[in-house]
Chains A and B, each alone.
Chain A
Amino acid sequence: MTIPVSAADWIVINTELILVGTAMIVLLLDAFNRRISDRISPWITLVGVVGGLVSLGFLWGQEYTGFAGMLVIDSFSVLVKMAILFGTGLAVLLSVDYLRREELAQGEYYGLLLLSTVGMLLLTSSANLIMIFLSLEMLSIALYVLTGYARMRPRSQEAGMKYFLLGSFSAAILVYGVALIYGALGTVDLAGVAEALTAPGILSNPVLLAGAGLVLVGLGFKVAAVPFQMWTPDVYEGAPSPVTAFMSVSTKAAAFAALTRVLVFAFSDLSGVWMAVIWAIAALTMIFGNLVAIAQNNIKRMLAYSSIAHAGYILVAVASANQLGIQSIPFYLIAYTFMNIGAWAVVTVITRKGEEGVGLSDYTGLFWRNPLLAVSMGLFMFSLAGIPPTAGFTAKIYLFMAAVNANLIGLLIVAVVTTIISAYFYLRVTVIMFMHRPSEVSAVHVPIAAYVAIIIAVVATLWLFLFPNSTQAFTEAVWRMGL
């Protein structure tokens, strides 16, 4: 018997190894010296995240398969991993002063954040249904704890419990679906699944269809697509703001990577069936997310519904399932990472201790209280609405082009109409910030780390609009490489 571990295996997981190592250092430091850990663990975490980004830079343009086809590195996964790590890094910057303000322990927070990130990175690379389940659980279990991390705040506790119950429920559905697929095809390897599906008559196998449907439900929960979105607003509202920022972008990125890999790579022969389903889910998600967001007066809930709506837009790209669609997914995810984390960063610094001050009224006249903050928030709102000059605009254009190429005119119309509707509630925030001058002006204190995060997000949001070509080479490679 030979040992099937080779050098390529270590290359495939080197980013994950860096982050796991960092997580262990952070945890052990916290266990042995709480005082030092409180001071330096965020910076150790940042060093780890930057190290992970550097290692991704080395992986760029290369293709590896490791651990007997369990994990793959291709341009698609590298790009999505970059989005995830950007999300983690910015979330760390937000957390430093947030944790101090809310008087929460530092060390284990960063350990959990890193371990959740590792789960996401693995999910992005997974080319095997076992790995998809394992990494999905890894990211979720750490996130359940992070969601309930403000242990004394009832809303955070409640969010943790709801996320846990519905998250593990969806995981159970997913694993049952995987078991059925395994029974129908005899393999859980995505490449093996794609190959098995070419056999005559297999496509109408009810066990296979049931299994694929359950897997779709399980992943639908994670990306918060309608009708599996009911946990999203409560969890996003209750969780500590930096955690929400992190999970709204990074979890979404990882789950969409897995969804794309499963549907477009493995089940492409079954596209006649899932195409219609994804079409309907995408349309429903966009309509529901945008319409309900209008009625929200709590900014965290509004952003939660906005996040549901954005899942719908990305699903349009998945439904297109063509070259442009697959390319636009990483681009959209990266753009969404910056604009959404930026918006959550502003929310984080506006809230006061105990997560007070999340009403829209708290944003009245923000421009007079802190112009830089208000202008940044306005930019993020423009970007989320898809108005130039922002990354959100470019990302949406790519997406709509993909839908046109795939001849999904009906879906395109839904996407355009809901985008126009969404402008209402995004711009409402902007109007509140700029138009109503408050009677008394009190300055908003913004910690330096949070400022850095916001400025990075602003620059990236503008950069992706001004120089989409700088990433175009990347996204074009996505099609050439893995797919």
Chain B
Amino acid sequence: MPPLSWYLYVSAALFALGLFGMMTRRNSIAMLMSIELMLNAANINLVAFSAYLRGHTMVGQMFALFVIALAAAEAAIGLAIVINIYRTVKHIDADEINLMKW
């Protein structure tokens, strides 16, 4: 098996990508995807730790399942919100949707 650190590097890179996307992207769907990247980075960590930690605790794997389920719920809610906005303003640019200042 490859060493644990490899998984952690991948996950840290994914997390950083998500963070970067969140900071720079202005399309709300792209921001939603960045959030999903970050959640999946956490999933990789959880599963990797679960496999490598002494005692092979199942906690990490179970947690990852819950994260996946919640990520789906979040995506559904997020899409619904974005579609609702799109119906009125015809675009989904987070910077432009700014009646109130941030």
A and B touch in the complex (CB under 8 A): yes
Q: Which residues of A contact B (CB under 8 A)?
A: 130, 133-134, 137, 141, 144-145, 148, 151-152, 154-155, 157-162, 164-165, 168-169, 171-173, 175-176, 178-180, 182-183, 186-188, 230, 233-234, 237-238
In the complex the two chains form, what is the Cα distance from A180 to B48 in whole Å?
A: 11
Interface of A is mostly: helix
Q: B100–A234 contact, CB under 8 A?
A: yes
Closest residue to A298 on the B side, CB-wise?
B100
Minimum CB–CB distance from B22 to chain A (whole Å) comes to 6
> Which B45-91 residues have a C-beta within 8 angstroms of A?
45-46, 48-49, 53-55, 57, 59-60, 62-63, 66-67, 70, 73-74, 77-78, 80-82, 84-85, 88-89
Q: List 26 A-B contacts (CB under 8 A).
A: A130-B62, A134-B70, A141-B70, A144-B78, A145-B80, A151-B84, A152-B88, A157-B85, A157-B97, A158-B85, A158-B97, A161-B28, A161-B97, A162-B102, A164-B78, A165-B28, A165-B35, A173-B38, A175-B39, A175-B42, A175-B67, A176-B41, A178-B42, A179-B11, A234-B102, A238-B99
User: Is A137's CB under 8 angstroms from B70's CB?
Assistant: yes
User: Chain A's nearest CB lies how many Å from the CB of B47?
Assistant: 9
Contacts A145-B77, A164-B74, A172-B42 supplied; 19 other A-B pairs, CB < 8 Å:
A133-B66, A137-B74, A152-B88, A154-B89, A154-B99, A158-B97, A158-B99, A158-B100, A160-B81, A161-B85, A164-B81, A165-B94, A168-B74, A173-B38, A176-B45, A183-B8, A186-B55, A188-B59, A238-B100
Number of A-B residue pairs having CB atoms within 8 Å of each other in the complex: 126
Q: Which of B38, B42, B67, B78 has the most chain A CB atoms closer than 10 A to its own CB? A: B42
Chain A residues with CB below 8 A from B66, complex form: 130, 133-134
Question: Chain A residues near B101 (CB, 8 Å)?
Answer: 234
Query: Provided the pairs A155-B99, A179-B42 are in contact, do residues A137 and B18 lie with their beta carbons within 8 angstroms?
Result: no
Residues of B within 8 A of A238 (CB): 99-100
Against A, the Cβ 8 Å flags (1 = close, 0 = not) of B24-49 are 00001001100100110111011011
How far does the alpha carbon of A134 sit from the alpha carbon of B88 in the complex, in Å?
Answer: 32
Q: Give Cα distance in the complex from A450 to B42, angstroms.
A: 44
- Chain A residues lying within 8 Å of B22, measured Cβ to Cβ, are 169
Please, which residues of chain B bring their CB within 8 A of the CB of A234? 100-102
B59/A130 in contact, CB under 8 A: yes
- The interface residues of chain A lying within 8 Å CB-to-CB of B73 are 137, 141
In the complex, A130→B11 CA distance in Å? 19
| Given A182-B63, A186-B53, CB of A176 within 8 Å of CB of B42 | yes
Question: Cα distance A187–B46 when bound, in Å?
Answer: 11
Contacts of A172 in B (CB 8 A): 18, 35, 38-39, 42
CA distance A179 to B46 in the complex (A): 5
* Nearest neighbor of A188 in chain B, beta-carbon distance: B59
List the 10 shortest-distance A-B pairs measured between CB atoms, nearest first. A172-B38, A179-B45, A183-B49, A176-B42, A175-B42, A179-B42, A234-B100, A137-B70, A179-B46, A157-B85
Asked whether, in the complex, the Cβ of B98 is within 8 Å of the Cβ of A158, the reply is yes
